[in-house]
Amino acid sequence: MKTRLVIIVILLLILTVLLSRNDERISDTLLSIVNPIKQKYKNFTQNLEDKSHSYIFQKESIEKLSLENRILRKRLLEQIHYIEQVKNIYEVLPELSHMPVQNISIAETISYVQLNSFSQIILTKPKGLKEDKLYGLIQGSVVAGTAKVHNNQLYGYLTSDEKCRFSVFIGETKAPGIAMGREKNEMIIKFIPKWHKIKVDDTVVTSGLDSIFFPDVPVGLVTKIEVQSAYTVAHIKTYSDIFHPKTFFLINDATATLAEDFDSNTTSLATRYSTPNTNVEQVPSIVPLPDTNVSTPIVTSIPSRIDQTQEDIIEPQAPAEIIEAPKKEDKRKPKTDSSSLDLF
């Protein structure tokens, strides 16, 4: 052990002497050994720094794209609601302006109401919500439950909770019913009229008639049907994931808004069949013939469009030039004056 220490000390002394002599060959040799090591160390630290910056940039990009995705999905739901309204009334009122309404908010889950219950949650409360009014919750593009403000706190009732209730349509016949939460991913639909024919695997969608959800939002599939004395009951399996309640779209107002503030006097539908269009530029409709012996006018143009139910009919205008009728010849013999005759 002592021998090793002595050897190391001697080597250090020799190295110190060599460096103190300022010999270029020795310094070049040392630099050729040390510089590659320094370069590798610098490259290693630079790679670590680049990777850290790349990770931070990717994280920021993911958060930004995630927020944009939520906003776009919110707008998509608004457009689906708008298109559903257009299907109903656009053919009747084709001149209505396209004005989608901002009626969807984003709500995040804060916590469960009770640790032993996975059906009730506490949500972040958007602005403008009313107390004790039911709001619809959408997870992705399917129904997730309902929400209500109570004591200035927004409570969410998922599809597995008994307090979650809304109106639905079932199958191709659009059988009406009221969906109620039951357990896990299961709901029960009551008050289905018995004359409606429904079957297993029928799709269940929201009706939109309760002002909680938009029409035609997917809810689930029918798994079981029970016929009771007064009505039919259906059991359904829901599409929503109640065990991962993270982000929801909250429907502020699900009522139809396309025809709000609609003035019937400003559209052509109200005036089309009542009064003629007086703004059309008047064009001469009658041109007289150059032959003065014929007084019958010739109609040279007709309106481009005539409504069959139009009450007021515009008569052709009279000719601008008044043509006098030819004077009738008097065929009676002229009277002669007896005083002017010569008598023999």
The tokens 């029918």 sit on which residue? 222
Which pLDDT does position 324 carry in this prediction? Answer: 54
Q: What is the pLDDT of residues 155-203, one digit of tens each?
A: 999 999 999 999 999 999 999 999 999 988 899 999 999 999 999 999 9
Which of 1-10, 122-131, 314-323 has the least mean pLDDT? 314-323
What's the chain's average pLDDT?
75
26 lies in some domain: yes
Residues 115 and 44 in one domain: no
Mean pLDDT across 90-112: 72
Asked which of 251, 268, 291 is the last residue of a domain, the reply is 251
Residues 133 and 53 in one domain: no
Residues 109 and 247 in one domain: yes
| Tally of CA atoms within 13 A in the half-sphere of 133 that contains its CB | 14
Mean pLDDT across 144-162: 94
329 lies in some domain: no
Question: Residue 154: pLDDT band by 50, 70, 90 thresholds?
Answer: very high
**Sign of the four-CA dihedral 202, 208, 213, 216:** positive
Which of 61-65, 80-84, 318-322 has the least mean pLDDT? 318-322
* Percent of the chain clearing pLDDT 90 (strictly above): 34
Residues 109 and 201 in one domain: yes
Residue 118 is part of a domain; what is its CATH number? Answer: 2.40.10.350
91 lies in some domain: no
Residues 121 and 173 in one domain: yes
Higher pLDDT, 170 or 60: 170
Number of domains within the chain: 2
94 lies in some domain: no
Residues 155 and 45 in one domain: no
Distance of CA 280 to the CA centre of its chain: 38
Task: Using the predicted structure, report yes or no on whether residue 277 has a pLDDT greater than 60.
Answer: no
Residues 111 and 159 in one domain: yes
Judge residue 268's burial from the number of C-beta atoms within 10 Å of its C-beta, 0-12 exposed, 13-18 middle, 19 or more buried: exposed
Nearest Cα neighbor of 205 from 189, 216, 191 is 216
Longest dimension (CA), the chain: 197
Residues 131 and 189 in one domain: yes
Which pLDDT does position 59 carry in this prediction? Answer: 79
Residues 123 and 243 in one domain: yes
Q: What is the pLDDT of residues 210-227, one digit of tens each?
A: 999 999 999 999 999 999
CA distance 46 to 161: 55
Residues 69 and 111 in one domain: no
Range of the domain at 207: 104-251
210 lies in some domain: yes
Which pLDDT does position 45 carry in this prediction? Answer: 81
**Sign of the four-CA dihedral 205, 208, 209, 211:** positive
317 lies in some domain: no
Which pLDDT does position 196 carry in this prediction? Answer: 92
CA distance 82 to 256: 8
pTM, entire model: 0.53
Q: What is the pLDDT of residues 212-271, one digit of tens each?
A: 999 999 999 999 999 988 899 999 999 999 889 989 999 998 887 666 665 666 655 444
Asked which of 188, 219, 251 is the last residue of a domain, the reply is 251
181 lies in some domain: yes
Residues 216 and 153 in one domain: yes
Which pLDDT does position 91 carry in this prediction? Answer: 65
Mean pLDDT across 123-135: 91
Nearest Cα neighbor of 122 from 139, 109, 105 is 109
The tokens 């610098």 sit on which residue? 42
Residues 60 and 128 in one domain: no
Asked which of 231, 251, 271 is the last residue of a domain, the reply is 251
Task: Using the predicted structure, report yes or no on whether residue 343 has a pLDDT greater than 90.
Answer: no
CA distance 118 to 160: 8
Q: What is the pLDDT of residues 296-339, one digit of tens each?
A: 444 444 444 434 444 444 444 444 445 555 555 555 555 555 44
CA distance 327 to 223: 97
